[in-house]
């Protein structure tokens, strides 16, 4: 067993690493010492410094724009690629060679995630990398920084030799999870586990609270984790119960993938202000000034949200040339403006029956990220609590509104940098309180405080200990049920695709480290050998009743379709000489947390791995 | 022999830091990080980069109103302050508050404390703190790439047409 347990938060905007040294930790895991690794990174040309987090930003130099040696790292010379603080600065200058938010692309089924597509819309072909490769690059940087500081040349202490828990959004589907693991394996990691970020936040709260946490929660508690990161919004419901006289934690439900986060907020404020400037004064900002404005809006946001007594925050964008005063554009962000942009735009008051606006169905879609069409995080929350009400009712009937319409948590854990702002936490708590009042329930309380920048990494490092039997673990299994699409026998109608039925292959709650076989007479799957066979692949976060082999009608409400999965049976057999082969299906959720699907040929028992197609299916 | 090697490496690492490893046969030399040979210019550069101080000081400000200057100075102040915070550890020379009475020892350091009024010629001196002074406890300027021209305080900026 490795000496350290490691937690890595591979965030959309920032990456962090926390660890526990099992040799110095006391036997009581609840007093475990979780430490974070200050990460070496280039901070300016030719200078390296340690920072608590590593911006998940990559810059790939063309060759001449930085002086020789500017990107060197303490452990090796580097001429081309820089990751972290300085990459961000260079990216503001040369956006076509700058890759950021790559994690948001990792779960974008509409693009080939293993093809060099980032930065998007950049003409610089040599600077392009795949979303999966960028994840591997960032992980490699972490490994190098760790080894340089802590391994001292001992291979047993190298980061890749430690037990590593890598966090992913709870809403990541099987494809994105598998890609993340593949990227980590490519970076050399051997002992890997995946953990959902909201769970990591709760672990971090347990770790930060110490043994006292058992007094601050009680059986019957329903904990809502609201995790608004740089790029994604992630909800989870975790139930506290008593089993064999001890507290037990079970993750009941996770939210859908909502591409909406702190970065969107800074941009919203900046675009709002620049629009005002253009309208009122006819000032048009260039790209460089715009990025300066976004930076200032971030500062203005933090300052105004942290100091409720401030009425406004002055914003000045200094002139582009050497005339500082002459060229300065002055404006200010008034509190009312911030409230309008943030509280009303992203956290609008709403009722439990409100729903986020549905995506518009447009004929064309820009080849960009599929951002959530509705920025109202509270409306997404209303939907989340409503679609999981039925499930909550089974274990916590008193936490569901009398009409059964929505579930109400007893406690809330906040995670993500934007929640440093008390007004945003308050807005969520007040909204939940109002919904509770409507249902005759008490308002939820906020559970303690955690380090909002490092909680996910810390919680993941703590879980490493728990996995060794030295701490509590949240159980939950697969947050989604998975299906393959089966075309139903129906008369062909021109222009109407044959309706498909979804056959469950992975039930909701399937535990890690287990597998399930789907076969027998009821299921008649037959594929031709020697040619690719593709299955349509779907998942649901809400259908919990389906058992493996069950068939369901596909509705847009309940199902999400992913890229198809495919395999080739009878490798080596000549094309055209194919024969029909009867197959059963086998689904395995590995200890690591990745999903493996395979076809098993009935006659021979041979297993054929079904590959998640990361390529664009072309029929969105 | 092993002990000798260990001791020798101990001192090499002690005196040369990571550069010692560059002497390891077979190992790729690790990059060396060096400070600027023109630290004064480098400091100007930092103040310019973060706070546009050179531009500001070189601008003719007579034509502008106080409000315009005030607005620009906020940003300049914020930026230059960042440079101070990041690269210097400053503390007052005297811990006493301004206006407080202070007794200077006979052997006070005249480079650290300036006397005003009746300087006297010996013995402990009693007086009032008018300014507490600043003492740069630590200076930590960033390293720069070896190939960089140390006399460049701020690079010119050219927007390349595509």
String of DSSP letters for A257-283: -B---HHHHHHHHHHHHHHHHHHHH--
Q: How far apart are CA A378 and CA A356, in angstroms?
A: 9
- Residue A620 binned pLDDT confidence (cut-offs 50, 70, 90): very low
B68, B144, B148 member nearest A325 (Cβ): B68
The CATH 3.30.420.40 portion of chain A extends over 4-195
pLDDT computed for residue A161 by the predictor: 96
Mutate to test the interface with B, among A121, A319, A324 (most CBs of B within 10 A): A324
Q: What is the pLDDT of residues A188-241, one digit of tens each?
A: 999 999 999 999 999 999 988 888 888 899 999 999 999 998 888 999 999 998
CA distances from A551 to A105, A235, A499, A548 (A): 31, 28, 13, 9
pLDDT computed for residue A618 by the predictor: 42
Residue B122: pLDDT above 80?
Answer: no
Residue A444: pLDDT above 90?
Answer: yes
- CB-based contact, A64 to chain B, within 8 Å: no
Q: What is the pLDDT of residues A252-292, one digit of tens each?
A: 999 988 889 888 888 889 988 898 888 888 888 877 778 77
Residues facing residue A236 across a β-bridge? A225, A254
Nearest to A148 by CA among A162, A158, A139: A158
A contacts of B143 (beta carbons < 8 Å): 46-48
Among the four given CATH numbers 3.40.190.10, 3.40.50.720, 3.90.640.10, 3.40.1110.10, the one describing domain A262-344: 3.90.640.10
Residue B14: pLDDT above 70?
Answer: no
Mutate to test the interface with B, among A43, A302, A315, A325 (most CBs of B within 10 A): A325
Nearest to A543 by CA among A558, A557, A561, A560: A558
B contacts of A328 (beta carbons < 8 Å): 68, 71-72, 75
A74, A76, A322 member nearest B28 (Cβ): A76
Structure tokens at B100: 């407080």
Per-window interface: A 99-138 vs B, CB < 8 A? 123
* Sequence-ordered alpha helix ranges (H) in B64-155: 66-87
CA distances from A485 to A482, A539, A546, A560 (A): 10, 10, 14, 11
Neighbours of A404 (CB within 10 A): 13
Nearest to B157 by CA among A76, A320, A58: A320
B contacts of A45 (beta carbons < 8 Å): 144-145, 148
- CB-based contact, A322 to chain B, within 8 Å: yes
Task: Give percent above pLDDT 70 in chain A.
Answer: 92
Inter-residue contact B148 to A44 (CB < 8 Å): no
Inter-residue contact A179 to A111 (CB < 8 Å): no
Q: Residues of B105-127 as b/e, b for ≥16 C-beta within 10 angstroms?
A: eeeeeeeeeeeeeeeeeeeebeb
Cβ within 8 Å, pair B142-A44: yes
Residue A52: pLDDT above 80?
Answer: yes
Residues facing residue A553 across a β-bridge? A501
Inter-residue contact A84 to A50 (CB < 8 Å): no
Inter-residue contact A140 to A15 (CB < 8 Å): no
DSSP A345-395: TTS----TT--PPPPP--S---SS----S---HHHHHHHHHHHTHHHHHHH
Structure tokens at A428: 């969520």
- CB-based contact, A61 to chain B, within 8 Å: no
- Report which DSSP code applies to A546: P
With helix as H, strand as E and coil as C, how does A519-537 read?
A: CCCCCCEEEECCCEEEEEE
Cβ within 8 Å, pair B145-A43: no
For A286, nearest residue in chain B (alpha carbons): B159
Average pLDDT of chain A to the nearest whole number: 86
Q: What is the pLDDT of residues A69-127, one digit of tens each?
A: 999 999 999 989 999 999 988 887 788 899 988 998 988 877 888 889 999 878 888 99
B33, B64, B162 member nearest A46 (Cβ): B33
Nearest to A598 by CA among A588, A609, A614, A589: A609
Mutate to test the interface with A, among B24, B59, B73, B155 (most CBs of A within 10 A): B59
pLDDT computed for residue A619 by the predictor: 38
Residue B103: pLDDT above 80?
Answer: yes
Structure tokens at A445: 């309380």
Structure tokens at A30: 């609840």
Cβ within 8 Å, pair B64-A326: yes
A contacts of B61 (beta carbons < 8 Å): 325
| Chain A nearest C-alpha distance from B35 (Å) | 9
Question: Which residues on chain B place their C-beta less than 8 Å from a C-beta of chain A?
Answer: 18, 28-31, 33, 52, 55-56, 58-59, 61, 64, 68-69, 71-72, 74-76, 142-148, 162
With helix as H, strand as E and coil as C, how does A17-80 read?
A: EEEEECCCCCCCHHHCCEEECCEEEEEECCEEEEECCEECCEEECCCCCCCCCCCCECCECCCC
Q: What is the mean pLDDT of residues A4-25?
A: 91
Nearest to A482 by CA among A507, A501, A499: A507
Question: Tokens 């480098």 identify what position?
Answer: B42
Among the four given CATH numbers 2.60.34, 3.90.1720, 1.10.357, 1.10.10, the one describing domain A481-612: 2.60.34
pLDDT computed for residue A365 by the predictor: 44
Average pLDDT of chain B to the nearest whole number: 85
User: In terms of pLDDT, which residue wins out, B42 or A114?
Assistant: B42
Strand extents, DSSP E, A169-245: 191-196, 222-228, 233-243
Q: What is the pLDDT of residues B51-89, one digit of tens each?
A: 889 999 999 988 888 988 888 888 889 889 999 999 999
- Residue A41 binned pLDDT confidence (cut-offs 50, 70, 90): very high
List the domain boundaries for chain B: 1-32, 37-88+138-154, 93-133
Cβ within 8 Å, pair B142-A46: yes
Inter-residue contact A42 to A82 (CB < 8 Å): yes
Query: Does an H or E element contain A184, and which?
Result: helix A174-186
Q: What is the mean pLDDT of residues A374-397?
A: 92
B contacts of A73 (beta carbons < 8 Å): 31
Q: How far apart are CA A298 and CA A262, in angstroms?
A: 9
| Chain A nearest C-alpha distance from B134 (Å) | 26
Q: How far apart are CA A408 and CA A507, in angstroms?
A: 25
Inter-residue contact A176 to A107 (CB < 8 Å): yes
Cβ within 8 Å, pair A318-B147: no
The CATH 2.60.34 portion of chain A extends over 481-612
Inter-residue contact A84 to A137 (CB < 8 Å): no
- How many contacts does A have with B, using Cβ atoms within 8 A? 86
User: What CATH topology corresponds to A4-195?
Assistant: Nucleotidyltransferase; domain 5 (3.30.420)
């Amino acid at each position: 067993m490795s000496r350290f347990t490691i937690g890595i938060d591979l965030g959309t905007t920032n990456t962090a690493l926390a660890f526990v040294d099992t040799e110095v930790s006391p036997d009581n895991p609840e007093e475990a010492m979780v430490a974070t690794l200050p990460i070496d990174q280039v901070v300016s040309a030719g200078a390296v410094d340690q920072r608590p987090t590593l911006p998940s930003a990559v810059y790939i130099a063309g060759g001449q724009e930085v002086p020789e040696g500017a990107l060197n790292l303490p452990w090796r010379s580097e001429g081309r690629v820089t990751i972290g603080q300085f990459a961000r600065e260079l990216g503001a200058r040369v956006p076509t060679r700058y890759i950021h938010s790559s994690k948001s692309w990792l779960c974008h089924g509409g693009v080939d995630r293993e093809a060099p597509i980032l930065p998007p819309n950049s003409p610089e072909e040599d600077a392009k990398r795949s979303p999966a490769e960028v994840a591997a690059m960032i992980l490699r940087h972490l490994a190098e920084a760790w080894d340089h500081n802590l391994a001292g040349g001992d291979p047993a202490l190298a980061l890749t030799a430690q037990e590593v828990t890598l966090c992913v959004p709870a809403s990541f589907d099987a494809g994105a999870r598998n890609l993340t693991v593949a990227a980590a394996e490519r970076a050399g990691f051997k002992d890997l586990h995946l953990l959902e970020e909201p769970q990591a936040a709760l672990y971090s709260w347990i770790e930060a609270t110490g043994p006292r946490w058992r007094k601050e929660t009680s059986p019957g508690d329903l904990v809502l984790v609201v995790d608004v990161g740089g790029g994604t919004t992630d909800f989870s419901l975790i139930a506290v119960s008593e089993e064999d006289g001890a507290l037990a934690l079970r993750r009941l439900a996770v939210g859908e993938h909502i591409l909406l986060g702190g970065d969107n907020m800074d941009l919203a404020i900046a675009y709002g202000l620049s629009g005002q400037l253009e309208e009122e004064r006819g000032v048009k900002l260039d790209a460089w000034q715009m990025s300066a404005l976004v930076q200032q809006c971030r500062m203005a946001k933090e300052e105004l949200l942290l100091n409720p007594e401030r009425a406004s925050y002055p914003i000045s964008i200094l002139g582009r040339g050497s005339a500082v005063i002459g060229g300065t554009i002055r404006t200010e962000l008034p509190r009312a403006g911030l409230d309008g942009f943030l509280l009303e735009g992203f956290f609008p008051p709403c009722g439990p029956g409100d729903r986020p606006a549905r995506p518009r169905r447009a004929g064309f879609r820009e080849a960009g990220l599929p951002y959530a069409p509705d920025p109202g995080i509270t409306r997404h929350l209303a939907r989340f609590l409503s679609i999981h009400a039925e499930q909550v009712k089974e274990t916590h009937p008193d936490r569901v509104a009398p009409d059964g319409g929505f579930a109400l948590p007893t406690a809330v854990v906040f995670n993500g940098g934007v929640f440093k702002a008390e007004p945003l936490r308050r807005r969520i708590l007040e909204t939940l309180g109002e919904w509770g009042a409507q249902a005759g329930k008490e308002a939820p309380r906020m559970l303690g405080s955690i380090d909002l920048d490092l909680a996910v990494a810390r919680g993941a490092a703590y879980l490493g200990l728990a996995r060794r039997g030295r701490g509590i673990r949240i159980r939950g299994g697969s947050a989604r049920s998975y299906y393959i699409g089966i075309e139903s026998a129906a008369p062909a109608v021109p222009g109407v695709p044959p309706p498909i039925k979804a056959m469950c292959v992975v039930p909701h709650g399937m535990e890690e480290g287990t597998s399930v076989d789907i076969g027998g007479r009821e299921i008649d799957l037959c594929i031709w050998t020697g040619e690719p066979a593709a299955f349509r692949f779907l998942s649901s976060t809400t259908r919990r009743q389906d058992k493996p082999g069950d068939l369901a009608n596909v509705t847009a409400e309940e199902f999400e379709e992913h890229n198809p999965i495919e395999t080739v049976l009878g490798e080596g057999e000549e094309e055209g000489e194919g024969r029909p082969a009867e197959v059963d299906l086998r689904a395995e959720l590995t200890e690591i947390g990745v999903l493996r699907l395979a076809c098993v040929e009935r006659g021979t028992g041979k297993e054929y791995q079904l590959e998640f197609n990361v390529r664009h299916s072309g029929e969105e | 022999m092993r002990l000798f090697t260990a001791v020798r490496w101990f001192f090499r690492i002690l005196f040369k830091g990571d550069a010692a490893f560059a002497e390891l046969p077979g190992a790729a030399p690790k990059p060396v990080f060096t400070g600027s040979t023109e630290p004064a210019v480098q400091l100007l550069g930092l103040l310019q980069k973060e706070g546009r101080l050179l531009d500001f000081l070189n601008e003719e400000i007579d034509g502008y109103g106080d409000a315009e200057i005030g607005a620009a100075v906020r940003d300049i102040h914020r930026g230059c302050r960042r440079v101070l915070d990041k690269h210097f550890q400053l503390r007052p020379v005297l811990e006493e508050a301004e206006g407080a009475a202070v007794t200077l020892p006979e052997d006070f350091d005249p480079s650290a404390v300036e006397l005003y009024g009746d300087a006297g010629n010996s013995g402990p001196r009693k007086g009032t703190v008018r300014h507490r002074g600043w003492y740069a406890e630590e200076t930590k300027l960033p390293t720069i790439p070896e190939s960089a021209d140390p006399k460049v305080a701020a690079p010119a900026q050219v927007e390349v047409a595509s």
